[in-house]
Amino acid sequence: MSVLALLAACEAAPVIKTVKDKAGPFPAADRPVAHIVSSRWSTEEARDRLNEAGQVMAKSGITKGMTVADIGAGEGYYTIRLAQRVGKEGRVLAEDIVAGVRDALAERVARERLDNVSVRLGNPADPKLPDNSFDRIFMVHMYHEIDQPYEFLWRMRPSLRPGGLVVVVDADRPTQDHGTPPELLKCEFAAVGYVQVDTADMPSAGGYLATFQAVGPRPEPEAIRPCQLISRRA
């Protein structure tokens, strides 16, 4: 059984291990899942003053003509800016699992005449994205809110085009505190057959950015080995 140490500065240092026990076709997340508390974590003006979206899109390699999914799009901070970056030859699919948030975003997209954006309602365990469609999938400050991450990542995999990347932005703190420790994120993606391509501190986005690529065949649900946070005395 493999064990990966997490960075910690407390007496009980968190550690990641891969476990074999699971129930059902997909393993459950063996760590707390944050509740959805708001579709906004800062004002768009404040985020733009830090050039948050510009830095994240540059680091993610967003260019004209790309097709991008914005999962957990909220009020559309990234949706709007991605639409501008990919241009009229590109496409953005914005998705949220809260119907009211989806409706408000759809109204904003219509009001701003963003013809290269479509908005849809997602599913907590399945984004239901079309196969072989996306150059990038954005998951910004929402991964820790996914109740069934292994099923979600498994069902999302076929939607990536060859060479496509999943872009995760999150805070380096426990999941119950609305963040995801980077090594835990890497372990959970690896369990579903993704490899980490890059990681970088992203203070302007309130944490870090990590990119992942799907490699090799998608594992069968029964073969997925979940990651578990345990405590270890120093």
Coil, helix or strand at residue 51: coil
Token duo for residue 43: 């004002």
pTM: 0.86
Q: Does residue 4 have a pLDDT over 90?
A: no
Q: Which domains does the chain have, with CATH numbers?
A: 36-223 (3.40.50.150)
Q: Which range among 9-13, 68-72, 173-177 shows the weakest confidence by mean pLDDT?
A: 9-13
**85-94, 213-222, 224-233, range with the lowest pLDDT:** 224-233
* Whole-angstrom distance, CA of residue 77 vs CA of residue 43: 9
The amino acid at 26: F
Which of 6-20, 68-82, 153-167, 216-230 bottoms out in mean pLDDT, i.e. has the lowest?
6-20
